[in-house]
Structure 1
Amino acid sequence: MRRLGLILLLAVSLCTPAQAGAAERSAPASAEFQQFLQAIWPLAQAKGVRRETFDAALQGLEPDPAAPTAASKQAEFDKPLSAYLAEAVSAQRIQRGRAALKQWDADLVRIEPRFGVPREILVATFGVESDYGRAQDGKDLIRSLATLAFKRQDRALFLDEFVSALVILDKGEVPRARLTGSWAGAMGGPQFIPSAYLKYAVSADGSAFPDIWGRPQDSLASIANFLRQSGWRPGLPWGIEVILPQNFDFASLHRSFADFANLGVVSADKSPLPSAGEATLFLPSGAQGPAFLLSENYWVLKQYNNSDSYAVSLGLLADRIKGEPGLRGHWPAGEVFLSRTQKAEIQSLLEKLGFYKGSIDGRFGQASRDAIHDFQIGVKVAPADGYGSMDVLRRLREAADGSVQ
């Protein structure tokens, strides 16, 4: 779980009408709901919420029978990157991003040097999160989070975010009618959850109230503040598409940019690689597909949403908004995308063989790729690209059965 936690929260999906009806019929009595909420008072008080704010927020509050309680599939983890990019970096989104870059140029002139985050990254994040402010849900955040905190008492996250929403109300800057968002609490242009709003939201002009619902400039400044506080390093790209030389040495996926350059790696547009900084080689479809060198800033983008598909698409959208061309590399024809069950089996087998110590969740991140790479090196598979494939799964099964010599 990364700092902002949007993956977990935004995985909650809307119910169908039939599900909503069933939920309404089985909804607990209002008295039980109120009893649960009243028990929260010590937590709210500890956060500095005044009693009058607490009572006013809860007065007449009823649970929302249509509030979802089940998580849906997440496209970030359940689609090949090539398919995800086709939607996330669409021609329309690029066009709107370039228009936004011009529209808010005067504001970005001030925001960019203030936080050290490139303007195209800020605009791209704004575009991915809320379609440049167009896609904002209007649910009553207090009611939504109170309902989810009640229905999902196994998930302390919803309770914590409900209390954070009360803190926002208590500050008196955001009227109750303005405090709106998604079922799961994602608010405004940056899609901040309440705790993130309290920590990262800032106004572009220095005013006290960061209006991420109605002022795009505040959304952009808040995104910039989040990324900078999360460790963004000015002067480094998020990543670079590269071309690997023939017979590339796959002994390590982690080297400095200078070391990769010395091994013959060149950027796809022939521009020089950064002279300083560490990089990670990322081959989302294996050695036959596009190749990227990821900088430290890539992992900062993943603080927003802990998904490689999300972070790569955001970075590539920023590049296109800036005016750079699309990918030069080609996706392999007939690529077989593993199911989450198959990925979980790979993780489990890697763990059994001593290569992996992470979560068995069927979601490949860098820890999984590094473990696959180490296994490939161990059994002398070439190229050792860290890519989870059916061949890797087969070899792991054989190794776990003791059949690999």
Structure 2
Amino acid sequence: MKRLALAAAVILAAAAMGPAVQAQTIEDTEGSTAVGREVETAAGFRTWIGEYRGKALEAGVPAAVWDREMRAAEFLPDVVRRDRNQNEFTRTIWDYLDIAVSDERVAMGRAAAEKHADLLARIEAKYGVRKEIVLAVWGLETSYGTFRGRTDTISALATLTYDGRREAFFGAQLIEALKILEAGEVSRPDMQGSWAGAMGHTQFMPTSWRDYAVDFDGDGRRNLWSDDPADALASAAHYLSRHGWAPGVPWGMEVQLPEGFDYDLTSERVVKPAADWAALGVKPVAGPWPEGARVSILVPAGARGAAFAIWPNFQAIESYNPADAYVIAIGHLADRIAGGPPIATTWPRHWKALTLDERKEVQQLLTAAGYDAGGVDGRIGPKTVAAVKAWQKAGGMVADGYASPDVLRDLRAQ
């Protein structure tokens, strides 16, 4: 998992059930056979706790801490189900932004900016990260601390480690979480968060807490869990600063592309001075180009949606969550909190998001047509985008590389 501080805006909305409710839900939806299988799995979980103990102790977890905390750990079947089904949950970028940058979230952000003005000013002065960006992370991760998740972190991480799909990653998180408890940074009842183990106001994974959390309020603890958001907001700023945030530079801005624009240039790998983009006819939607800027152009919905000029601060936010939609949501929410306008370009709202099976079909059809889509896994990565572009060029279409429903329709018809 490239991201270490998980984006809980989507995850947390589906992670608010305690273990008793989870078991009841499984019984209601899948019947008694599924419940029987889970009883067997839960029994295996207790055996696994004993088997994994040696590895945890070798990694520095005291035996007393392991025995005490794992005795209270529970196998959470809903956590496994959510981990298995992540690829099925997709939405278009405009649907995502409608939720992530809703008028309500913008208003809440402005209210939080006023309430915590002194704290945010001190954080910005220390770490150089624009205060509205910090607010946007807080707003998108936990709706400004109003929904931080109610899943027991130790149980969630133990379940995911035991499940084995990503044992090394989640095992490392489990061990760090136990060390946090050993250090007395938080109590076990208060160590709650998302189903995937992300914690606190800004949804840090335990290793992110270890590496980037700070004690900003000076009470001797790096406390991301309390109602006071000081440590959490400062930790998010510290995280972004350590991942390359440049003070005084934008994250990005909406731009207009000229007729006949070469969409091969729309890539984070293509970086040009602003003057070069201006010479190609690219114009900011609002305001002038910042002086001396070297930027890339991004079209997250292809030629029919909004285009953005992006700066290296885009990549700094990307370290928090590598999804382009998330980064754009953070940047745009920050701009809206600061009083900026909504995105001006009309999105292609008649398109729906392709399902996992439909994304696989796109890759299958491209491969059958002789284009290297990078395999058939349903993930639209750089090779699939390049294959779509090549197919579009061959057909005399605008080669933006966007795997839209129209692309799937035309691939089926060929």
| TM-score band, normalised by shorter chain | 0.7 to 0.9
2:108 alignment partner, SS class:
helix
Asked if residue 70 in structure 1 is aligned to residue 87 in structure 2, the reply is no
- Structure 1 residues 380 and 116: CA distance shift in structure 2, 3 A: farther
Asked if residue 19 in structure 1 is aligned to residue 32 in structure 2, the reply is no
> What corresponds to 1:4 in structure 2?
4
Q: Which of 244, 248, 255 is equivalent to 2:261?
A: 248
Cα pair 1:149 1:155 within 8 Å, conserved: yes
Cα distance between partner residues in 1 of 2:229 and 2:252: 26
1:86-111, Cα deviation, whole Å (9 max, x unpaired): 11111111001011112222112221
1:212-264, Cα deviation, whole Å (9 max, x unpaired): 11121111111112222223233332221011123334342234133212211
1:356 Cα deviation after fit: 4.1
- Structure 1 residues 139 and 298: CA distance shift in structure 2, 3 A: same
Asked if residue 153 in structure 1 is aligned to residue 147 in structure 2, the reply is no
Count of residues in Structure 1 that have an aligned counterpart in Structure 2: 394
TM-score scaled by length of structure 1: 0.85
Q: Where does structure 2 lack aligned partners over 5 or more consecutive residues?
A: none
Q: Which of 281, 294, 298 is equivalent to 1:277?
A: 294
Q: Which moved more, 1:21-30 or 1:125-134?
A: 21-30
Cα distance between partner residues in 2 of 1:374 and 1:227: 36
> What corresponds to 1:334 in structure 2?
350
- Structure 1 residues 233 and 365: CA distance shift in structure 2, 3 A: farther
1:118 Cα deviation after fit: 1.1
> Residue type of the partner of 1:238?
W
1:394 Cα deviation after fit: 5.5
Same amino acid, percent of matched pairs: 36
Cα pair 2:300 2:324 within 8 Å, conserved: no
Asked if residue 231 in structure 1 is aligned to residue 248 in structure 2, the reply is no
1:194 Cα deviation after fit: 1.7
- Structure 1 residues 213 and 262: CA distance shift in structure 2, 3 A: same
Q: What is the 5 A alignment of 1:335-354?
A: 335-350=351-366, 353-354=370-371
> What corresponds to 2:396 in structure 1?
381
- Structure 1 residues 271 and 190: CA distance shift in structure 2, 3 A: same
> Residue type of the partner of 1:252?
L
- Structure 1 residues 49 and 375: CA distance shift in structure 2, 3 A: same
Q: What is the 5 A alignment of 1:4-403?
A: 4=4, 6=6, 10=11, 15=22, 17-19=24-26, 22=32, 25=36, 26-28=38-40, 32-59=44-71, 61=72, 63-64=74-75, 67-71=78-82, 78-150=90-162, 152-156=163-167, 157-214=169-226, 215-253=228-266, 254-256=270-272, 257-273=274-290, 275-284=292-301, 286-332=302-348, 334-350=350-366, 353-357=370-374, 360-365=376-381, 368-377=384-393, 379=394, 381-393=396-408
- Structure 1 residues 170 and 260: CA distance shift in structure 2, 3 A: same
Cα distance between partner residues in 2 of 1:83 and 1:30: 38
1:78 alignment partner, SS class:
coil
- Structure 1 residues 31 and 279: CA distance shift in structure 2, 3 A: closer
What RMSD in Å do the two structures reach over aligned CA positions? 3.1
Cα distance between partner residues in 2 of 1:247 and 1:66: 52
